[in-house]
Amino acid sequence: MERTRLIIIPLAVIGAIAIALPAFGAPSPDVLAKRALGLAKKSDARSKKAYSRATQARTTARSAAASAGRTTVIKRTSVAVSATNADLDTALAAATKVPLASVGGLTMYGKCVKETSNPSNPGVYGRIFVSTTEAGSVFSSDENDSGNGYFGPATAEAQRAIASVVSYAGFSDPGTLNLSDAQKGGFAVMAPSGTSLYGMTVVGTKVGSPTAGDGAFGAGDRCIFGGYVIGA
């Protein structure tokens, strides 16, 4: 009887171990639940990142679409004469370009020069030009236009002026100033690619020291540029 009991007890222990062994090789429900929660959190993080990227892309696209046809005001830009010469064309060729607006391959810029062919009556010239990187472009303005043809990268600068004004120092005047007609100054530029630039320009010049003072120009021989443009 005692021997039988001793045999039964080990058998019971072996049975219990056999039942328990599969459990040792498989995760518990608690572990599985934790793993599922971790995967859910990772999935949620990925979803949030994807949503953030999509929102950013949409915002960028909207901004680009708005910029393509937006109106830009050219704030008063006052610059000193950057070239002086007895010959106006020589002075203009040597003058610094003052960037005013651009869209695609179309650019608008100004130049401020002093012409001294008559030293007793020098003149300060302010001019605005347009340029293009595309042959076959056209433009029109109160000052000039591309006429019965086109203009492109090789077109001479003198043929691309869209606004101009000059102030001469009189023989007895300490200085003068002038501003272009606000009712004029309209222009349009169009390129074969479809890029366009439209708007109004204002240019002013001051030579010497007018009795009225320097005002919006600032001291010295200067030009001011302004207006607004619509790029598309």
115 and 64 housed in the same domain: no
From 11, 44, 68, give the residue that closes a domain.
68
Q: Please write down the HEC assignment for all residues of 168-215.
A: ECCCCCCEEEEECCCCCCEEEEECCCCCEEEEEEEEEEEEECCCCCCC
From 12, 36, 68, give the residue that closes a domain.
68
131 and 56 housed in the same domain: no
147 and 37 housed in the same domain: no
Phi, psi at residue 80, to the nearest 5°?
A: -80, 160
- Position 93 in a domain: yes
199 and 149 housed in the same domain: yes
48 and 146 housed in the same domain: no
Q: How confident is the model at residue 44 (pLDDT cuts 50, 70, 90)?
A: low
- Position 181 in a domain: yes
Q: How confident is the model at residue 41 (pLDDT cuts 50, 70, 90)?
A: low
76 and 104 housed in the same domain: yes
54 and 139 housed in the same domain: no
The single-letter code of the amino acid at 62 is R
Domain that holds residue 94: 69-231
C-alpha 155/C-alpha 146 separation (Å) is: 10
Among 121, 71, 130, which Cα is nearest to 100's? Answer: 130
Instruction: Quote the distance between the C-alpha of residue 98 and its chain's center.
Output: 16
56 and 141 housed in the same domain: no
> At which residue do the structure tokens 């901004």 appear?
63
Number of domains in the chain: 2
103 and 35 housed in the same domain: no
Q: What is the mean pLDDT of residues 155-161?
A: 97
Is the model's pLDDT at 16 over the cut of 60? no
33 and 131 housed in the same domain: no
* Contact assessment for residue 176 and residue 206, using Cβ atoms and an 8 Å cutoff: yes
Phi, psi at residue 58, to the nearest 5°?
A: -65, -40
- Position 8 in a domain: no
- Position 220 in a domain: yes
**pTM attached to this predicted model:** 0.70
116 or 33, greater pLDDT: 116
Q: How confident is the model at residue 181 (pLDDT cuts 50, 70, 90)?
A: confident
Q: What is the mean pLDDT of residues 158-178?
A: 90
pLDDT, one tens digit per residue, over 63-92 is 444 455 678 899 999 999 999 999 999 999
109 and 53 housed in the same domain: no
- Position 214 in a domain: yes
80 and 55 housed in the same domain: no
